[in-house]
Structure 1
Amino acid sequence: MSKRFAGKVVLVTGGGEGIGRAAAFAFAREGAEVVVAGRHPEMLHDTVEEIKALGGNASCGIADVTRHGEDGGASDAEAIVAAVVERHGRIDVAFNNVTELGPNQPVAEICESVWGETLAANLTGVWLSMKHEIAHMERNGGGVIVNTASNIGSQGMLPGLGAYAASKAAVSTLTQTAAREYIDKGIRINAISPCPLGRGAKVEEIADTVLWLASDEASYVVGHDLVLDRKTAV
C-alpha cells in the first residue's frame, strides 16, 4: 500500500514540540519529506534526528515566523519558505502551528506587551507564513495549508486567556477568508481547533486529524475550522 504523502514536501512551523512535533513524525511515517521550523534549534534537531532514526526524511530551519524583515530584507517566514523551495523544489503542504498561550489574566489586567506578543505569535506569524506559502503554491499549481486555531477561540471555553482567545479566533476567520480567496487557485486551506488544556485530544490524535485534512481524503473540505474536543473537556 502506498503512503499518503510519498513524494510530498511538508513544512511544519512550531515543529520542535507538541502538536507540531507529533505532526512531523506522522507526515514522515506517511512518506513525506518533512521540514520543521521554529525558534529552538535543540528541539528541532531532536525532532529531525528521531525521524531519521525511524527511517523518515527530515530537516530543519531556524525561524521566528513573527519577525518582519528589517531594512527591506526578507521576513523569517519568507526566508524559510524560500529555503525549503530551494532545497526541495516545492512545498506541497504547510502546517502553521506556532502557538503561545500567554499568562492567565483577566482582560483588563493584560499589559500591552503581552497582548502584542500573543497576537504576533498566534496571528501575525500565521499570516506571514500563509502570505509566502500561498505565493509559492499559487505559482506552482496549488497545495494544502492547515493552521492551528483553538476551541478557546471558537467557543470561549476558559476565562483568563483573552489575548490567546482573540488571536486564535482571528486565525479561524483568517483561514476561512483565505480559503475562499484561493481555492480557485488550487490551494486548499483549513484549520484545526484543539483544546490546549484538559482532555481535548492527545497530540498524536490531533496530528492524525492534520494529516487527514492535508490528504486527498479531505479534498472536498475547504475553509473549515475543525474543533477537536470532547464533551468532558475542561
Structure 2
Amino acid sequence: MLLEDKVHIITGASSGIGAAAARLFAREGALLVLGARRQHELGAVTDEINQAGGRAVALAGDVTDAGFAADLVALARSEFGGLDGAFNNAGRMGSGSRLAETEPGEWAAVLATNLTAAYLAARAQIPALEERGGGSLVFTGSFVGYTATLPGMGPYAASKAGLIGLVQSIAVEYGPAGIRANALLPGGTMTEMAMDAATNPETAAFISGLHALKRMARPEEIASAALFLASGLASFVTGSALLADGGNSICKV
C-alpha cells in the first residue's frame, strides 16, 4: 500500500475532495487525522473509515485558527506517534462579486481560509515532519489564479495564486530536510461548493464545457492525484503546481 503506516492530516475532510482523499488514503494504509468545521459530517466520514478497517481520528475546528493547526499535529503525535504528511485541502470560494463590489471583510475571509490557513498549517506541520526525517505537504490550489480566472473570483484567484508561491518557498527552504511541498490544482469538481454554484443546468453545462474532457471531475479523481503527490511515487516532485483539471487550462472551444 502506498501510504502504509504513514500518518497524514487531511483538512476539509467532511465532504468532497477531502472526504474522498480520506477514504482513499485509508485504503492505502494511512493513519489519519481528519479535520473540518462540520463535526457531524466529519464524524460520519471517520466512522466509515474505521468500520471499514482503517484507522482515523477526527477533530472539528476552523483552519484559520492557528490553535487548530497545532492541535491537529498534537493529535497526530498523541494517537500515532508523529506526522509524515498532510493534505491541506480546506477552501472557500467567496460570493462571486466583482472586485469593486467585494467588501474588505469578504476579501479577508477568503484569503484567511485559502492562503493564511495554509501558512498556519505548514508552520505547525513542518517541525513534526522534520522530526520524522521529512514528509509530504500537499495543498489544494486551483486553475483559477494560475492558468485562468472567471468574473467574480478576484479574492479566490489571488489567494490561490499566492498559495503556489507559498508552496515553492516551502519546497526550497525545507527540501534539504526531506520535506516535499506541492500544490494540486483541480478543475471543476463535483463538490458541494461547486455544485451550489452550478445549480442551474445551463451553468453546469457551461462549467463542463470549459474542460477538454467536457465534464467535471469526481472528487475521487482529484483524491487520486493527491495520493500520488503524498506518496513515494512522487519522491522527486516538489515545488510543483500539478494540474488535475481535465484539460481546462488548454481548452479554448
- Normalising by structure 1, what TM-score? 0.92
Match of 1:192, SS state, is: strand
Give 2:68's aligned residue.
Answer: 76
- SS of 1:64's equivalent in the other structure is coil
1:33 aligns with 31
Q: CA deviation at 1:183?
A: 0.7
CA–CA separation in structure 2 for the residues paired with 1:87 and 1:126: 23
Say whether 1:130 aligns with 2:128.
Answer: no
- Deviation per CA, 1:106-136, whole angstroms, max 9, x where unpaired? 1111001100100001111111001110121
The amino acid across from 1:225 in the alignment is A
The residue correspondences of 1:91-102 to structure 2 (distance < 5 A) are: 91-102=83-94
SS at match of 1:31: coil
Q: Are the equivalent residues in 1 in contact too, given 2:137–2:182 (CA < 8 A)? A: yes
Alpha carbons 2:9, 2:72 under 8 Å: kept: no
Please name the residue that 2:186 is paired with: 194
Deviation at 1:148, TM superposition (A): 0.5
Letter in 2 for 1:124: T
CA contact (8 A) 2:12 2:90 kept: yes
- Residue ranges of structure 2 left out of the alignment (5+ in a row): 189-193, 195-206, 208-214
- Of the three residues 151, 155, 163, the one matched with 1:163 is 155
2: distance between equivalents of 1:147 and 1:200? 20
Q: Which runs of 5+ in 1 are unaligned?
A: 69-74
Distance 2:64 2:133 in 1: 27
Q: Distance in 1 between matches of 2:216 and 2:237?
A: 22
In structure 2, the residue matched to 1:225 is 241
Shift, 1:93, TM fit = 1.4
Q: How does 1:47-58 map to 2 (within 5 A)?
A: 47-58=45-56
Q: Contact conserved, 2:62 with 2:68, CA < 8 A, in 1?
A: yes
- Deviation digits for residues 61-88 of structure 1, max 9, x if unmatched? 12212024xxxxxx21112211221221
Report how far residue 228 of structure 1 moved.
1.5
SS state at 2:237 partner: coil
User: In structure 2, how many angstroms separate the alpha carbons of the residues matched to 1:139 and 1:208?
Assistant: 27
Letter in 2 for 1:28: A
Counterpart of 2:227, as a letter, is L
Q: Following the alignment from structure 1 to structure 2, what is the Cα–Cα distance between the partners of residues 54 and 153?
A: 38
Inter-partner Cα distance in structure 2 for 1:51 and 1:231? 32
Q: Is the CA contact (8 Å cut-off) linking 1:143 and 1:186 kept in structure 2? A: yes
For 1:52 and 1:37, locate their aligned partners in 2 and report how far apart those are by CA, in whole Å: 15
- For the residue of structure 1 that corresponds to 2:144, the secondary structure is helix
Partner SS state of residue 136, structure 2 = strand
Q: CA deviation at 1:4?
A: 1.2
Q: Is the 8 Å Cα contact of residues 194 and 200 (structure 1) preserved in structure 2?
A: no
* Superposition TM-score, scaled by structure 2 size: 0.85
Q: How many angstroms apart in 1 are the aligned matches of 2:247 and 2:83?
A: 36
Q: CA deviation at 1:6?
A: 1.1
Residue 200 of structure 1, CA deviation: 4.4
Query: Amino acid of the residue matched to residue 117 of structure 1?
Result: A
Seq. identity, %: 41
Distance in structure 2 (CA, Å) of the matches to 1:28 and 1:139: 23
Q: How far did 1:195 drift? A: 2.1
Amino acid corresponding to residue 146 of structure 1 in structure 2: V
Counterpart of 1:19 in structure 2 is: 17
